[in-house]
Structure 1
């Protein structure tokens, strides 16, 4: 399971996607996700042994919120809709497609201003051991004042259990470049 911290504004870039947002999630977010997975499995909302693995958390209007995306789960949407209506006062549950227009002013195709531009990271040509690549990417993030992102990236890579998925995760955090590109940049900066 992974929990990605995002800015509320980033939800505006998720047009065409759907998920459940719970508002006012205090305490351990891991416990919230485990509890929702267990409750939805027992109530026949989550089907075929699927569960929410990749959730996001964000702050809005002083509340900690959780987004449970529907992309990688099989759901009985009718049962989920009934659960959401019956528990709305308790959990503040709403659909992503309702939350964004009603709380954030609608979806936007413009690039989210809260997103930082990715830092170049010389991985092409480096030793391909995933722990080596993770270390280089993590160091690059920390060197660019992104220690929280480095920690989050490493946690997600360790949980992925798949080399190609791990590479994709690294690519979400840094702009993967060749080691030769970095050497050329350094050489261009030296004048005699």
Structure 2
């Protein structure tokens, strides 16, 4: 789960123009998320360096013994491009989903960390960006919100709704490629994949070898030649 929030900064050039009406001696040039895009790498590196001492996990400072503590494994701040601007990005690892009131409690805690905890210290650290220094703010006193990212499920749903491949045996069957193609075509049509049947036939008719034709057919129906799923490794065997 990710939460995004506005990111702002003050930029102090190495050679400031004190006559510039937009320059403030104490606040430099204000920068918003769009202007901070060019400093993405420098800011991300600065966040990683600043949080290294506590493993980058803001939940280490969460003192409540409640369901949020039991469900949230880690809450790691960083930055990420979101909506064509650089934003604060909190990546939350969970044991199980948060209820609405638990999510509110987490967001309130993180808002406090951004304003009076970790973020208050981070915004005082200068970030060298070559032509000047940046001071980055994860919290603002107006228009601040931790907004949960809702992933686009379109492609995932397409995979879920994709028709399964019909199964067809090659071994011991007629070795005539046209007979094999005909059987595969009928299987596809019977499973509601008439468009795939036509696509398969067109590809088979334009290939130049028997083996290639079998491989093409095995992309559309499951045969002995179809790729087998890669077995999952036991976590205990990982190195």
Give the number of the structure whose alpha-carbon radius of gyration is greater.
2
* TM-score normalised by length of structure 1: 0.33
Q: Which has the higher contact order (CA 8 A, sep 6+)?
A: 1
